[in-house]
Amino acid sequence: MTPFPLPLADLFGHWGAYVVYLFIGLAFGAVLELAGFGNSKKLAAQFYFQDMTVLKVMFTGIIVAMVLIFAASALGWVDYNLLWVNPTYLWPGIIGGLIMGVGFIVGGFCPGTSLVAAATLKKDGIFFVLGVFTGIFLFGETVDSFAVFWNSSYLGRYTLPEMFGLPTGVVVLGVVLMAIGMFWASEKLEQKYGGKDPQKAPRWRYFAAAGIFLFAVFVLIMGQPTLEDRWQQIASQREAVLLAREVQIHPGELLDSIHDNSLKVMMLDVRDEVDYNQFHILDSRHVPLEELPTIIEDLHFQPANTVFVTMSNDEGAATEAWKLLQAESVPNVYILEGGINNWIATFGDDDLTKNYNAGAGDDELCYIFDSAIGSRYAAAEPDPHAQELPYLPKIVLELKRAPTSGGCG
């Protein structure tokens, strides 16, 4: 089974995906309106502790989504690697949050709730939306003057488990307990400052809190799948692909792909530094096998036409790298057939191939080099038109399922 999320644009087409987006947006707006979020007085009352509906509704949405996502991930239904997580720009985020908070207090809306109010023809909502558009225009015209700060303190896909160094389940349970505590405190504040009678609140909220707590405990017990777990989920299918030699591409196909303007080729050389320095293909990226997990996020955000090719001296380490990238849901990954040894045998001149080491072990260089000059050998950048190499083309672009955008307006 292919885990969610699914590539909507590829499955339903450009306009079909927009129909799905429109339906989700209308449903979200309806929920906000039903919660009373189209009323600026109700929203502003949050900051005076008179009506804490905003905190309760939004935090409920957060913890329900969090628990369901990580429960589905634990069961193998959702591939968390493919979910959009807003990248963290620490200080710009803090300053932006403060500015938005002041605007929320003064205007009584956030951007999303102002659209709900405008859709129901509330005058204050309409004027707030006009202010939002004005602010967007002014920001776009001035952002270059503070671009350094705007892009500063970048932390990437930075989450609470990474921040605290704790298992995901522990963080999920902690956030749920914090939310339940905040719900209790908010009712006390409403009682004190808003004169609300807690006895009139629906009693089913206690059962809902207990249910979300039990879900969080389930996430804690199940844990999140490890890299090995993710590989085991796909091992039978992917091992068959390896055995059928469907992903090992001929050096000639790699060379043609490098010069194909419709493709972006990222060559990942997973050998040790000594071998890489002796000889490597021009523009290949040196990423030792043990460091490969650290660049997964970068690989996911490459364009949809990117082809990744792993390579080692032969195919041993390159195959392990291929398995790791498959487990991490990186698309369009191939292995250089025969590795660097086969590349040299195919494109190397007599001077380069004369010192053949017949005693080389598995996945070791079969050639002895006079000097370590990396990609300055002619074979590191062969002429694609110099010879006709027969090969069976194997590269077929997959549907891009990696995260590309997201966030909340």
- Whole-angstrom Cα Rg for the chain: 27
Assigned fold of 228-380? Oxidized Rhodanese; domain 1 (3.40.250)
Looking at residue 4, its pLDDT comes to: 66
pLDDT at residue number 408: 53
Note the Cα 67 to chain centre separation in Å: 18
List 4's β-bridge partners, or say none: 78
Q: Identify residue 388 by its one-letter amino acid code.
A: E
Cβ-Cβ contacts under 8 Å for 105 (sequence gap 6 or more):
44, 47
pLDDT means over runs of 10, the chain (409 residues): 67 86 91 90 90 91 95 91 88 93 90 92 94 94 94 90 94 97 94 88 92 96 92 92 96 96 96 95 96 91 93 97 95 96 93 83 88 92 90 87 55
The C-alpha atoms of residue 373 and residue 364 are separated, in whole angstroms, by 18
Contact 403, 332 (CB under 8 A): no
Q: How far is it, in rounded angstroms, from Cα 403 to Cα 169?
A: 23
Cβ neighbours around 383 below 10 Å, total: 10
What are the extents of the domains in the chain? 8-226, 228-380
Residue 59, helix vs strand vs coil: helix
Query: According to the model, what pLDDT value does residue 398 have?
Result: 81
- In the sheet with 264-269, reading across from the earlier edge strand, the strands are 248-249, 333-336, 306-311, 264-269, 285-286
